[in-house]
Structure 1
């Protein structure tokens, strides 16, 4: 079984129990590739995750 299938099953189970489920995209990756620059580093990614938690 592929890892994304397992994650999808976990996601569905969590949502069915009314848990908040999110899949954040980090600066410089995937849809946010235009944000990639020399200023993007580990601290940037940590702040991205903290922004999701503080939402």
Structure 2
């Protein structure tokens, strides 16, 4: 499952070309951030992931 929208990356990067593997690499980083945030929330006995979990 992808949490990244490729068209939004290109829109944000405006004047830059975006390689095909960039979105995949970014998606993996975001998935890792989310997983770590969920782990932290769980360690703090919460079911809600918050900005402070990042």
Q: What TM-score results when the alignment is normalised by the length of structure 1?
A: 0.37
- Which has the higher relative contact order, 1 or 2, with Cα contacts under 8 A spaced 6 or more apart? 2
Give TM-score, length-normalised by structure 2.
0.37
Which structure is higher in helix share?
Answer: 2
